[in-house]
Amino acid sequence: MPHPSSHKLNIADVAKAAGVSTTTVSRVINRIGTVKESNRARVLDAIRKMKYRPNPSAQRLAAGKNNTIGLVIPRFQDMFHSFYITELMRGVGTASERLKLDLLLHITDGPWTNMQSVEGLLFADLDGSEELVDAAVEQGIPCVIMNHFLEELPVSCVAVDNRKAAREVVRYLAELGHQEIATITGHLRTHVGIERLDGYLAAIKERKLPMKEAYVEHGDFGAPSAREPAKRLLGLKDRPTAIFAASDAMAVETIEVAFELGLRVPEDLSVVGFDDSPVAAFGRVPLTTVWQPLSGVGEQSVEILHDQIDGKVKSPIKRLLPTQIIKRQSCRQTWLER
Amino acid sequence: MPHPSSHKLNIADVAKAAGVSTTTVSRVINRIGTVKESNRARVLDAIRKMKYRPNPSAQRLAAGKNNTIGLVIPRFQDMFHSFYITELMRGVGTASERLKLDLLLHITDGPWTNMQSVEGLLFADLDGSEELVDAAVEQGIPCVIMNHFLEELPVSCVAVDNRKAAREVVRYLAELGHQEIATITGHLRTHVGIERLDGYLAAIKERKLPMKEAYVEHGDFGAPSAREPAKRLLGLKDRPTAIFAASDAMAVETIEVAFELGLRVPEDLSVVGFDDSPVAAFGRVPLTTVWQPLSGVGEQSVEILHDQIDGKVKSPIKRLLPTQIIKRQSCRQTWLER
DNA sequence: CTGAAAGCGCTTACAG
DNA sequence: CTGAAAGCGCTTACAG
């Protein structure tokens, strides 16, 4: 009753118009090679003239597969999240288009009413959707989790190598001549937070730099959380010459605090962030930071999910992707001046 | 062959297990009232025990409707866009969950290979997806366009009232005592850009403020585009005491330029942006700006699309949503000092 | 309140 | 290279 004018066409109508069987029509639609060229032409012609569109539900039912994956996105939050999610989605979108997968979106929290319509599930991080993962695993639905390593569960994970990235940041600062390198960590209940701290510690150790307890301050990724830590760090007798913040937001806040205390960046203090989020380039001082292959995470996740659905891959894949340091103007070589 | 272990259950298996007909099973699944309580219980029990999930493709085919809408998102770009899109999506996600609609995502550009799987289309703005709208209209697929008014086409549009918002900004500045109010416009090929300029002009006229050609400078929403305009404005003999930038990014850049020229904000110059994007709060000077009901646009768009699909609404709906000025610290009362 | 049966619009052995 | 026919897993008049 919705479109009273447009009579619903089916494959039989096309077959009749083209003077062939429905089987043949189906063959040309599905690009099966064994169709006489003249027949193919007539079918194509009929389809075009009649503006016929195959019914996808029928195709899926008959073919026994639905070619649809679900993308679960946590409740949106701050800017970091927003940038982060869109980048991830860009990769997911590109890859699913390429693999001809329908992408079903699930944004709100709460259970998913019809998870059934999906052959595989993609999780953009895991902020509040843990039960959904469990439910999916239990139902045997292939899952790929982006940017959150779940060692225990039999699900694939594709994430950025945060530990290595943090290590490289410290090495970079060391090469610029910094000795007193402090860090403001992210939330240590998150994998990301822990990994970035671990990388920092490993590199400090490796380079035999002073490892002082006072040099490790705790934030939660958010800008405000860096204020007091930054003040404490910059008030230290042996004030660090460089601070590695586990997020751009915290790095920007740290720079702000430095300015308030009359310090110059990078002259008196070098600062490195993490994320290469848009604030990094916009702030008072263009921020040296770590770029993450977010859209790459998205693309690879879709590919892995696709392979799992096809049964090409049986056991879960855990993959780490490399990051890159983006050198801007918030760091300074110190050894020249000494 | 994908899951060799899990035999595919169908409604007949459940019917047999529950000792009823498939019709009855279907009735309890679809919550049709006329089922004896004892039978309902047995069916529900069987479903739970067997972990049966109806096949959505079959349901859709048999019921003749697919309950799926598509969301078309333009190629992602800058931060503004990213924030903007996620907010929009949050609203869309909430509403489609509420209305039990499946949300199919289309991100990349290029044609959509199976637009057929969708009963209606949602467009998040229109940057490069114009042909898709045309195709949809031609195929009689209901469309709602978010944040882009298309007067000519028979499609619904839900957008923010940019003109009114700009007018209110100027009025606000006037009430603070400003007389010389300049603007840096957005890209004037976009509706948004034009509307914001029109609103500015209307309010200047309405308040009988000096309308000088030199006070209207042109940007393209992006931060860099505001640099030269800001310089020109601030270099004017009759330098404006307030600048209304058509985007937060440009407003932030304007403040930057002001600082470079030795001007203080808001003491020497008041600045207002637009978008209430996250940079607005993060910058050197917390920015007074215009908040837009983006997630509201998303929600209302889904509702309208739903009504159109159901045939409840025949003619396209064009709706404008109100904005709100967020007063932060980038504006100053001038009349006190005079 | 219930069920047998037709039908939704495709795909796919199978036989030719 | 082609087609008749069965089947995918549901829903829904219809008759009871």
Nearest Cα of chain A lies from the Cα of B63 at a distance, in angstroms, of 10
Q: How many residues make up chain B in this entry? A: 338
Band of pLDDT at residue B337, cut at 50, 70 and 90: low
Please report the pLDDT score of residue B5 as a whole number.
33
A68-160+294-321 and A162-292+326-337 agree in CATH topology: yes
Q: Which residue has the higher pLDDT, B335 or A43?
A: A43
What is the DSSP secondary structure assignment for residue B52, as one 8-state letter?
-
Cα distances (angstroms) measured from residue A304 to each of A126, A301, B123, B209: 18, 5, 29, 62
For residue range B126-142, list pLDDT tens digits in order. 777 788 888 888 878 89
Q: Which residue has the higher pLDDT, B235 or B281?
A: B235
Query: Is there a contact between B58 and A61 if contact means CB atoms under 8 Å apart?
Result: yes
Band of pLDDT at residue B245, cut at 50, 70 and 90: very high
Helix H segments across B35-129? Answer: 37-50, 56-63, 79-98
Q: By the CB < 8 Å criterion, does B117 face chain A?
A: yes
For residue range B165-214, list pLDDT tens digits in order. 999 999 999 999 999 999 999 988 778 889 999 999 999 999 999 999 99
**Alpha carbon A317 to its chain's center:** 16
Cα distances (angstroms) measured from residue B338 to each of A142, B177, B234, B310: 70, 9, 21, 61
Band of pLDDT at residue B88, cut at 50, 70 and 90: confident
Chain C: nucleotides below 7 Å from protein CB are: 1-5, 7-13
Stretch B8-35: mean pLDDT, rounded? 90
Give the residue ranges with Cβ < 7 A from strand D. Answer: A 20-24, 27, 33-36, 38-39, 58, 61-62, 64; B 8-12, 22-23, 26-27, 29-30, 52-55, 58-59, 61-64
How much of chain B exceeds pLDDT 90, in percent?
A: 55
Instruction: Find, among B157, B148, B158, B118, the residue nearest to B136 by Cα.
Output: B118
CB B65 within 8 A of CB A57: no
User: Searching chain A, which residue's CA lies closest to the CA of residue B251?
Assistant: A282
- Per the CATH hierarchy, to which homologous superfamily does domain B68-161+294-322 belong? Response regulator (3.40.50.2300)
Please report the pLDDT score of residue A335 as a whole number.
64
- CATH domain B162-292+326-337 topology: Rossmann fold (3.40.50)
Which uninterrupted H or E stretch holds B131? Answer: helix B130-138
Low-confidence ranges of chain A (pLDDT < 50): 1-6, 79, 338
CB A123 within 8 A of CB A144: yes
For residue range A31-43, list pLDDT tens digits in order. 988 889 999 999 9
Please report the pLDDT score of residue B7 as a whole number.
56
Cα distances (angstroms) measured from residue A313 to each of A156, A305, A317: 10, 9, 8
Across A56-70, B43-57, B89-103, B231-245, the highest mean pLDDT is recorded for B231-245
Please report the pLDDT score of residue B74 as a whole number.
75
Query: Is there a contact between A86 and B90 if contact means CB atoms under 8 Å apart?
Result: no
C-alpha–C-alpha distance, residues A27 and B60, integer Å: 23
Please report the pLDDT score of residue B1 as a whole number.
30
For residue range A174-202, list pLDDT tens digits in order. 999 999 999 999 988 778 889 999 999 99
Yes or no: is domain A68-160+294-321 CATH 3.40.50.2300? yes
Stretch B283-304: mean pLDDT, rounded? 93
Q: By the CB < 8 Å criterion, does A282 face chain B?
A: yes
C-alpha–C-alpha distance, residues A209 and A244, integer Å: 14
CATH architecture assigned to B11-63: Orthogonal Bundle (1.10)
Q: Which two tokens stand for residue A184?
A: 């403001």
Residues in B closer than 8 angstroms to A306, CB to CB, are none
Query: Is there a contact between B279 and A284 if contact means CB atoms under 8 Å apart?
Result: no
- According to DSSP, the residues that pair with A68 across neighbouring strands are A102
pLDDT at residue B335 above 80? no
pLDDT at residue B2 above 50? no
Instruction: Find, among B294, B180, B289, B203, the residue nearest to B245 by Cα.
Output: B289
Query: Is there a contact between B103 and A102 if contact means CB atoms under 8 Å apart?
Result: no
Q: By the CB < 8 Å criterion, does A71 face chain B?
A: yes
Cis peptide before B54 (omega within 30 of 0): no
Residues in B closer than 8 angstroms to A93, CB to CB, are 73, 105-108
User: Searching chain B, which residue's CA lies closest to the CA of residue A102?
Assistant: B104
Mutation site, B82, B96, B256, interface A, largest A CB count within 10 A: B82
Query: Is there a contact between A311 and B2 if contact means CB atoms under 8 Å apart?
Result: yes
What is the average pLDDT score of chain B?
88
pLDDT at residue B113 above 70? no
Q: By the CB < 8 Å criterion, does B311 face chain A?
A: yes
Please report the pLDDT score of residue B82 as a whole number.
63
Q: By the CB < 8 Å criterion, does B314 face chain A?
A: no
Please report the pLDDT score of residue A337 as a whole number.
52
pLDDT at residue B112 above 80? no
How much of chain A exceeds pLDDT 70, in percent?
A: 92
Domain extents for chain B? 11-63, 68-161+294-322, 162-292+326-337
Please report the pLDDT score of residue B338 as a whole number.
43
Span CA (B128) to C1' (C16), Å: 51
Per DSSP, which regions of chain B are E strands?
Answer: 68-72, 102-106, 120-124, 143-146, 156-160, 181-185, 216-218, 242-245, 270-272, 289-291, 318-321, 324-326
